[in-house]
């Protein structure tokens, strides 16, 4: 079924203990779309400036990613981010942030996209996420991401958003901050009481927790020996998660569990290389093969 993503398109510069990647392609909508395209056609909504050095049509050549919703704003500049990952790869410092086009009005959802049934609102200001969601007619399943600064500074807008979505995908620290609760299970339950029927809490190298009011599912991360660049792992997780749901047209708890497993596998490929290289070098067969391995090592 139709899958829409709206989020950032970025020029990234990344340093990790394993190397440096200057001016590479990044952004939540990019990682999400690449991962989701293994499962279902993707409709991308985003904006860049003429300074963007990447031809996105070529980046997504051979993949079912519709770029009708891409705006190139002639008087704007593309979002830029630079960061450093430390010896503990879970620790990251933002060295430079240039919002540029992300500080402007969000792009319009094309009329042809407004019948999208599965929608992912990647991380941005909750007021903008709400504005974009209002342009979609009757989605069947909507998920969103958020981050610490919105929880602190735009809490009221975020609380409105939470009442309008089906699923929040959030990392462990942000879940605890949003719920004001250090126990992760209690934090997830508190988030569910804020509106969404599903909460997915990502724990990095320790896996993720899927929660509904009635059920819980815990899955460890894929045991990866090669971790070069964690950038985009969470967005790749969300892309495969939503891509699988859109492919099946289902969002029952059993389907959500399978979606979490696919998200876990997609993220494991992303972190193995810089930028998109971990995803562009594989096929759906590789993803399914790694899913079988994950299932094997988590059975007991």
pLDDT digits (tens, 9 = 90+) for 142-160: 999 998 888 999 999 999 9
Hey, which CATH number is domain 3-297, 1.20.120.1200, 3.40.1190.20, 3.10.20.30, 3.40.50.300?
A: 3.40.1190.20
Q: What is the pLDDT of residues 51-104, one digit of tens each?
A: 999 999 999 999 999 999 999 999 999 999 999 998 888 788 999 989 899 889
CA distances from 177 to 128, 169, 191, 231 (A): 21, 14, 11, 22
How many CA atoms does the CB half-sphere of 150 hold within 13 Å? 21
Note the pLDDT of residue 224: 87
Which residues, at least 6 apart from 251, have a Cβ–Cβ distance to it below 8 Å? Answer: 140, 141, 166, 198, 245
pTM of the model: 0.96
| Structure letter (DSSP) for residue 190 | H
Residue 71 near residue 64, CB atoms below 8 Å: no
């Amino acid at each position: 079924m139709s899958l829409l993503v709206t989020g950032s398109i970025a020029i990234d510069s990344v340093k990790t203990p394993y190397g440096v990647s200057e001016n590479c392609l990044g952004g939540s909508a990019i990682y999400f779309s690449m991962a989701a395209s293994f499962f279902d056609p993707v409709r991308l909504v985003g904006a860049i400036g003429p300074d963007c050095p990447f031809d996105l049509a070529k980046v997504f050549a051979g993949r079912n990613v519709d770029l009708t919703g891409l705006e190139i704003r002639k008087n704007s500049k593309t979002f830029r981010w630079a960061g450093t990952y430390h010896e503990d790869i879970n620790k990251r410092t933002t060295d430079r942030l240039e919002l540029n086009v992300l500080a402007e009005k969000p792009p319009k959802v094309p009329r042809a996209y407004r019948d999208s049934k599965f929608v992912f609102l990647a991380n941005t200001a909750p007021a903008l996420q709400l504005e974009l969601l209002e342009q979609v007619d009757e989605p069947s399943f909507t998920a969103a991401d958020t981050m610490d600064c919105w929880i602190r500074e735009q809490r009221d807008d975020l609380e409105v958003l939470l009442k309008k979505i089906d699923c929040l995908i959030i990392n462990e620290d942000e879940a605890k901050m949003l719920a004001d609760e250090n126990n992760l299970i209690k934090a997830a339950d508190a988030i569910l009481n804020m509106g969404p029927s599903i909460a997915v809490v990502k724990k990095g190298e320790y896996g993720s927790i899927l929660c509904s009011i009635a059920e819980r599912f815990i899955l460890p991360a894929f045991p990866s020996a090669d971790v070069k660049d964690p950038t985009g792992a969470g967005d790749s997780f969300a892309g495969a998660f939503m891509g699988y749901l859109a492919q099946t047209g289902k969002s029952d708890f059993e389907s959500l569990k399978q979606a979490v497993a696919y998200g876990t596998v997609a993220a494991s490929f992303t972190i193995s290389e810089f930028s998109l290289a971990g995803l562009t070098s594989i096929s759906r067969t590789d993803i399914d093969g790694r899913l079988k391995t994950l299932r094997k090592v988590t059975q007991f």
